[in-house]
C-alpha cells in the first residue's frame, strides 16, 4: 500500500534534526531530516528590550507595581491587564498605568471568567456573526476617545484547548478563530480608534497544539506578535525542566515565518523553582532574548499561581532578576 500526506514544517532555530511521523490506523511511518543551517535571525539594529509585569491586582494595584520596581531595580514600562467580555474598556486603569510612565498590554477575553471552555454564548461564529458588535464599538469608541497608545491582545493562547475561543472546543471549527479575530478588529477599527496596537498572541507551540499557520489573521490585522511560555519545571506531573531556548525557540521561529518583520513580545513568562536553578534560568532567559533582535519586550508573570512564578520566589531569584535586567539588551 502507498500514500502521501502534506504538512508544513517550520525549521528550528538551531541546526539539528526534525522528525516527521504519520499515523494511519495502526500503521506508523517516521522520517528524520537533518537541518544543516538554523532558521535565519532578522538583521538590523535591535531595540532595547522593554520590561513589563503582570501582578495579582493588575494596573490598579499601585503597591504591587511599586514592589516589583523595588525588586527589579527598574519600573516596568508595560503593565499586563485582563478583561473579559462583561467589562467596559478600563479607562481608569489605563490612566493609572500612564501616570506611571508605562503602557498597558490589555488582554481582551471573549468569555465570562471562570465559566470554563463550554460557553456557547461566546462561540467564535457568534462573535463573527455580529452578536457582540455593539459591545465592540463601545470599546473602540472608549479607547479611541482616550487617545493614548495601548496594546490590545484579543483572545490570546488560541492554539491551546483551555479557553472557549480555541478551535476544537465550544463548538468552534477550523477557520473560526481567524474569522472572529478579523471581525473584532474591523468593528473596533470602524470607530476610528487609531491608537491601538493589535497583538496576536499564541501560546508557545507544544505537542498537540493547533498549528499556528491556520490561526494567523494576516499582516493587516496584526501590529505585533507575542508568545506566552513558562518553564514549569517538574511541578506538573511528568513535567521537565526547560531552558529558555527550549521554551521559546520554536515559537519565535514560527512567528518569524508567519509574520516577517513584526516585533515580537514575550507577553507572559516565568519559571518554577522546582526541578532546577531558577536564578540561572532567569539569567539565561535574558541572555537568550537579548540575542533575538526582533524581541522588543518581556513581561514577567509575577503571581504565585500554578507555581510560584514571582520574581522573589526566593531571594536568589530576585537578585538574579535584577542583575539580568540591568545587563539586558
Q: Per the residue annotation, which of 157, 167, 245, 250 is the catalytic one?
A: 157
62 three-class SS: helix
Taking the alpha carbons of 191, 194, 197, 202 in that order, is the dihedral positive or negative? positive
Cell of 106: 490589555
Closest CA to 176 of 166, 163, 184, 186: 166
Scanning the structure block, which residue is given the C-alpha cell 467596559? 88
In angstroms, the CA 221 to CA 152 distance is 12
> With contact defined as beta carbons under 8 Å apart, do 187 and 140 qualify?
yes
Closest CA to 311 of 271, 252, 275: 271
Q: Per the residue annotation, which of 93, 167, 245, 268 is the catalytic one?
A: 268
Q: How does DSSP assign 218-246, residue by residue?
A: -GGG-SEEEEEEEE-TT-STT-----HHH
Closest CA to 1 of 27, 30, 32: 27
132 three-class SS: coil
Q: How does DSSP assign 19-60, residue by residue?
A: EEEEEETTEEEEEEEEE-SPPPPPPSPPPPPEEEEE-TTGGG
Task: Tell me whether residue 138 is one of the annotated catalytic residues.
Answer: no
Task: Tell me whether residue 64 is one of the annotated catalytic residues.
Answer: no
Scanning the structure block, which residue is given the C-alpha cell 507551540? 205
Residues with a catalytic annotation lie at 157, 268
Amino acid at each position: 500500500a502507498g500514500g502521501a500526506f502534506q504538512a508544513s514544517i517550520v525549521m528550528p532555530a538551531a541546526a539539528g534534526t526534525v522528525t516527521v511521523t504519520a499515523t494511519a490506523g495502526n500503521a506508523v511511518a517516521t522520517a528524520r531530516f537533518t537541518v544543516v543551517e538554523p532558521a535565519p535571525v532578522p538583521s538590523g539594529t535591535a531595540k532595547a528590550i522593554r520590561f513589563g509585569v503582570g501582578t495579582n491586582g493588575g494596573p490598579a494595584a499601585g503597591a504591587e507595581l511599586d514592589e516589583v520596581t523595588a525588586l527589579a531595580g527598574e519600573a516596568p514600562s508595560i503593565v499586563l491587564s485582563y478583561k473579559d467580555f462583561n467589562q467596559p474598556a478600563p479607562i481608569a486603569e489605563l490612566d493609572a498605568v500612564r501616570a506611571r510612565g508605562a503602557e498597558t498590554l490589555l488582554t481582551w477575553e471573549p468569555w465570562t471568567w471562570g465559566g470554563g471552555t463550554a460557553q456557547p454564548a461566546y462561540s467564535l461564529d457568534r462573535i463573527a456573526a455580529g452578536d457582540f458588535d455593539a459591545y465592540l464599538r463601545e470599546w473602540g469608541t472608549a479607547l479611541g476617545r482616550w487617545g493614548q497608545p495601548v496594546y490590545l491582545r484579543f483572545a490570546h493562547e488560541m492554539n491551546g484547548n483551555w479557553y472557549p475561543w480555541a478551535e476544537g472546543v465550544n463548538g468552534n471549527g477550523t477557520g473560526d478563530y481567524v474569522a472572529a479575530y478579523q471581525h473584532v478588529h474591523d468593528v473596533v477599527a470602524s470607530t476610528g480608534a487609531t491608537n491601538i496596537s493589535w497583538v496576536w498572541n499564541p501560546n508557545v507551540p507544544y505537542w498537540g497544539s493547533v498549528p499556528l499557520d491556520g490561526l494567523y489573521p494576516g499582516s493587516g490585522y496584526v501590529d505585533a506578535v507575542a508568545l506566552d511560555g513558562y518553564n514549569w519545571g517538574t511541578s506538573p506531573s511528568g513535567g521537565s525542566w526547560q531552558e529558555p531556548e527550549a521554551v521559546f525557540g520554536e515559537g519565535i521561529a514560527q512567528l518569524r515565518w508567519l509574520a516577517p518583520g513584526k516585533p515580537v513580545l514575550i507577553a507572559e513568562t516565568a519559571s518554577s523553582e522546582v526541578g532546577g536553578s531558577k536564578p540561572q534560568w532567569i539569567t539565561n532567559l535574558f541572555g537568550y532574548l537579548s540575542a533575538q533582535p526582533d524581541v522588543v519586550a518581556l513581561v514577567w508573570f509575577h503571581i504565585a499561581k500554578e507555581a510560584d512564578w514571582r520574581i522573589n520566589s526566593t531571594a536568589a531569584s530576585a537578585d538574579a532578576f535584577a542583575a539580568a535586567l540591568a545587563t539586558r539588551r
